[in-house]
Amino acid sequence: MARTHADLRIVLDRTPGTPLHVQLAGALRAMMRAGALPAGERLPSSRVFAADLGVSRTVVTEAYQQLYAEGWLEGRHGSGTYVAEIGPHPATDGLATGAGLGAGGKKEGPIGRGEARRRGLVDLRPGGSWVGDYDVAAWKRAWRAAGEHGPGDDPDPRGLPVLRALLCEHLRRARGVVAGPENVVVTRGTGNGLDLVAALLATGRRAGVEDPGYARARGIFAARGAETVPCPVDDDGIVVDGLPDDLAVLYTTPAHQYPLGGRLPIARRERLLEWARRTGAFIVEDDYDAEFRYDVAPLPALYGLDPARVILLGTLSKTLSPDPGIGWIVAAPETADRIAALRGALVDRTSVPVQHAMATLLERGDLDRHLRRMRLEYARRRALVVEILGDRVTGDTAGLHVMVPVARERLGPLAEAALARGVLVDDTRRHTLGEHDNHGLVLGYATATVQDLRRGCAVLAALLADGHG
């Protein structure tokens, strides 16, 4: 059974200071580290926990989402929120996500990117971007321009009109998406956008997620009270045949499936949209790194094929940096209206000064120039990975990560051996709900320096050659 607030013995400080959701996440994290919340234990639902604590449900959902993202929690199909297995385990080896053993063999939590840098580890986990090469003058100019706008007290939940118009132009150039400002809601990133969609469309309903798929998406749906339904993928992406007819929402990554790396073919995109029209489901299209592709022609966004049934999520975190916290939802006007109304009710907002700064980068063409530089940089890095790891690499035609197929039972020893040699890797197990044949390392090549990328890939190539894979 799920524990109650009294069992958890959590006291939150209501005086001004650390936000309540940060306090709650910290308290739960400390209990998991100490073993007071062991792996496999079920936590209360966000609704029940919020009532026990005497806080809004948003406080609990934001705390859960943070812990999902860090790898401390996991959602189980139709069952709830559970403490994840952090240490080595046949199904979910924490080493794959950067967890390992500390002094004296004591288990420790997932290693953050900052901690990895301090330890001198080569971080080949996906999810980040290269921030070591940017136009300093343009960056400073954007923030000076933002500083010319005084503080306001009534931010538009849709976002600044000027930024929404500029994002429409950016999407037209970068992705061929035709939309107007009335279709756009500016968010704090893809996670924030998906959370809003889940709160609006999935609470108490069935939400389809790719399996293997983005673990954080499962966590967001679970935190919003949806029943997450695993939907199989293959080397090309989501498998349309056999999709349930009773889904309210289906989350998918058609431009570069996460984590396997497939690109959904046109014929299958059409079948997917036919399914959505027939069942009335919404498709949530996460376009997280679609600006980057190599040696292949661009495929149209699902949104452009059927704006009525598709909700498009995007972010600047891969193009520029996660730091500004800017993303967007593109949807039919009536859906965008409902999302904006929900944001107002939740007092959820995107920093206005940040929006002004990003608008300046877009308006002056600085972001487009940065994107062109990054396309060349990432193409060089992708070529390096393929050169060292050879024909073991799959899913390398787009995006910022590749996959190296490895048998499931060998992933734990391989991740542990890589960590012992100073290389952090991710693998498919934490992205999987059911039984699959598609397993392997999921390697990101955006955040490490080129020198570290070369060194890390060489370590992995040697381990694979020695029979670890």
The pLDDT of 345-373, averaged and rounded, is 94
When the pLDDT of each residue in the chain is averaged and rounded to a whole number, the result is 87
pLDDT at 94: 34
pLDDT band for position 54 (cuts 50, 70, 90): confident
Higher pLDDT, 433 or 406: 406
Confidence class for position 38, pLDDT limits 50, 70, 90: confident
pLDDT in tens, 273-323: 999 999 999 999 999 888 888 877 778 899 999 999 999 999 998 888 888
CA pair distance 327, 307, nearest whole angstrom: 18
> Which tokens go with 103?
């002094």
Three-state DSSP state, 202: coil
Q: pLDDT band at residue 29, thresholds of 50, 70 and 90?
A: confident
Rounded to whole angstroms, what are the CA distances from 9 to 12, 14, 29, 46, 318?
A: 10, 16, 13, 16, 39
- Of 161 and 120, the structure prediction assigns the larger pLDDT to 161
Q: Find out whether 179 and 304 touch, Cβ atoms under 8 Å.
A: no
Q: In this structure, how many other beta carbons lie within 10 angstroms of the beta carbon of residue 382?
A: 23
The 10 Å Cβ neighbour count of residue 256 is 26
* Predicted confidence (pLDDT) at residue 4 exceeds the cutoff of 90: no
pLDDT on residue 86: 54
The β-bridge partners of 394 are 403
User: What percentage of the chain exceeds 70 in pLDDT?
Assistant: 91
Output the six-digit token pair for 122: 């080569």
Please tell me the pTM assigned to this model: 0.78
The residue among 117 and 452 whose pLDDT is bigger is 452
Could you tell me the domains of the chain?
5-84 (1.10.10.10), 103-132+368-465 (3.90.1150.10), 153-364 (3.40.640.10)
Confidence at 271, pLDDT banded by 50, 70, 90: very high
Which stretches within 282-365 are classed as H helix? Answer: 302-305, 333-346, 352-363
Q: How far is CA 342 from the centre of its chain?
A: 22
| Residue 236 near residue 264, CB atoms below 8 Å | yes
Q: What distance in Å separates the CA atoms of residue 32 and residue 29, rounded to the nearest whole number?
A: 5
